[in-house]
Amino acid sequence: MRKLVECVPNISEGRDRRIIDEVTGQVDATEGATLLDVDPGADTNRTVITFVGDPDAVVEAAFRLIKKAAELIDMTKHAGEHPRQGATDVCPFVPVSGVTMDDCVALSKRLGQRVGEELGIPVFLYEHAATKPEWTSLAEIRVGEYEAWPSKLGKPEWKPDYGPNKFIPKTGAVVIGAREFLIAYNVNVNSREKKLAHQIALDIRDRGRLLRDGNGKVVKDEQGNKLRKPGLLKECRAVGWIIDEYGKAQVSINLTNYHVTSMHKAFDTCCEVGLEYGLRVTGSEIVGLVPLEAMLMAGRHYLEKQGRWPGVSEKELLHIATHSLGLNDVAPFKPEEKIIEYAVGGRANALVDMTCADFTDELSSESPAPGGGSVASLCGSLSASLSAMVAVLTQGKKGYEEQQDELAEVSAKGQRLKDEFLLDVDRDTDSFNVLMAAMRMKKKTDDEKAARDTAIRKATEGATLVPLGVLERSIAALELAEIVAEKGNQNSLSDAGVAALSAHTCAEGAYYNVLINLASLAPSDFTRETRAKAEEALKKAREISGRVTTRVETKLQ
């Protein structure tokens, strides 16, 4: 899975386009980072910037952005409707794919330390990165806003996590942290009455509605505080409004942690609650972008409700999610524009995007890549796909009742393995291209020769680890083939056998690629450990393959 982190810095400038463009230009200038959205507000005098990329690129882009904002924005002259505290007001990291919240906390600390030390700006960590319970909330750090820093900074209790404990008039302070992805999600209803949509919002949102007695009066506690009836969904904010352009009302929802309350949970709950007010949900829309996993979760949910196994392709899961959530209700839902991982995009001319004919044409050309490593990875994906197919063909079959749960898991694992192997098809070629680039480096001076030698060694080690990963993953593919050969639909036994043979080819081919790369490296701990891992993995792969092919051949006689 690709490692992808979102970063959403807010800068205290929403009117001067020149400044905004120069600041956001720092993201465009950082390799590996992709600028997704720039949302300036004149009244707030604030711009929300959204970009994504691999972890290292995102940290670098964020640092450059904060540095440029500090150069161009003077907080002594700033005024706006939105609460603010610094030239770069807040800078959160958000896990999207292949990274954890702990990873994002580590990124926020890396950035915070660099900003504090190199730029001399006070840095406070918040939310999941907070070093004090009271700093978990951004609002608590921002109490009194920019104007309060002269009196707060300098005190021991306000010592920042990084940077000087003193007021810096021009830049103010910056708050850096890690938080969950926020999904802006609107559910459409068959009414033009805002108040009806708002009734749904009051019922579902986390904070709920004010508690009232039989006479409609707000109930208070002994201290005079208004009491509330909690809503049905946690980590959910919601209001009702009307969109004239659509000719219908919406329940406008912010899901602050989609792992706690998912889109499909919010949608289904709106459907249920809406019936109490005579409303029918007609569909929904995603505002901005959404992580791929949030869509896949919805696809799996609705497949399971239909009594189907969720072990289907990513494309099918997205199709089910899109139509089950009614995402085409008010405008066409385009995954390539709305799903973060797709919007960022892969490389142009990726091998896995080719037709079979085009791939084999490229394979048969004079170019040394793609080669055997990519083919071995492709064999692994074919093996996993076949095992998933046999598992699905066993669903609901008479005589296989006891195997249903295990085979359901096989179908899901097969899909995941297939996708990983497909990524390896291009990873293998990419690693070879990196090695070729290292070999083309200059080598006239001693320094150039040393740099080239180091680059070649690192690139060769990287090129070795790719097929090693494929080899180790082939064992998982063989284990799936063994399960479906033994417990799957016996009418598809030959398919299970081909799955095992394909995985075996994958293992042997990957092993060859490990060996040829190791041969070009000087003996070291890396070469010894890698060879040992490869030999152990190949031995296990051969053992499983032998068991499966023997079983299949015996039963087919």
The packing angle between helices 446-487 and 525-556, to 10°, is 20
Measure the CA–CA gap between 424 and 463, rounded to whole angstroms: 11
Q: H or E element: which one contains 243?
A: strand 236-243
Q: Is 55 left (phi over 0), alpha (psi -120 to 50) or beta?
A: alpha
d(CA 464, CA 527): 9
Q: Which residues pair with 398 in a beta bridge?
A: none
Q: Which residues contact 511 (CB under 8 A, 6 or more apart)?
A: 467, 471, 534, 537, 538
Contacts of 126 (CB under 8 A, 6+ apart): 90, 92, 135, 136, 137, 138, 141, 175, 176, 177
For the chain, the distance separating the N- and C-terminal CA atoms, rounded to the nearest angstrom, is: 41
Is 428 considered catalytic here?
yes
3-state secondary structure of 421: helix
Neighbours of 213 (CB within 10 A): 8
Domains of the chain, with CATH numbers? Answer: 4-178 (3.30.990.10), 183-344 (3.30.70.670), 351-556 (1.20.120.680)
Known catalytic membership, residue 259: no
Specify which residues 38 forms β-bridges with: 49
Q: What is the pLDDT along the chain (557 residues), one digit of tens a residue?
A: 678 999 999 999 999 999 999 999 999 999 999 998 888 888 889 898 999 999 999 999 999 999 999 999 999 999 887 788 999 999 999 999 889 999 999 999 999 999 999 999 999 999 999 999 999 988 899 899 999 999 999 999 999 999 999 999 999 999 999 999 989 899 999 999 999 999 999 999 999 998 888 887 888 888 888 888 999 999 999 999 998 888 999 999 989 999 999 999 999 999 999 999 999 999 999 988 899 999 999 999 999 999 888 788 889 999 999 999 999 999 899 998 889 888 886 545 678 888 899 889 989 988 887 899 999 999 999 999 999 999 999 998 999 999 999 999 999 999 999 999 998 998 888 888 888 889 899 998 998 889 998 999 999 999 999 999 999 999 999 999 999 999 999 999 999 999 999 999 999 999 999 999 999 999 999 999 999 999 999 999 999 999 999 999 999 98
Token pair 């291209």: residue: 433
| R_g over Cα of the chain | 28
Q: What is the pLDDT of residues 177-230, one digit of tens each?
A: 999 998 989 999 999 999 999 999 999 999 999 888 888 788 888 888 888 899
The helix (run of H) or strand (run of E) holding residue 512 is helix 493-518
The SS3 call for residue 429 is: helix
Residue 254 phi/psi, 5° resolution?
-115, 120
Active-site residue identified among 82, 323, 329, 419: 82
Q: What is the pLDDT of residue 375?
A: 95
| CB-CB contact of 124 with 176 (8 Å) | yes
* Model pTM above 0.75: no
- Eight-class DSSP state of 119: I
Q: Whats the size of the chain, residue-wise?
A: 557
Catalytic residue among 54, 89, 428, 430: 428
Q: CA distances (Å), 434 to each of 205, 345, 369, in order?
A: 50, 20, 12
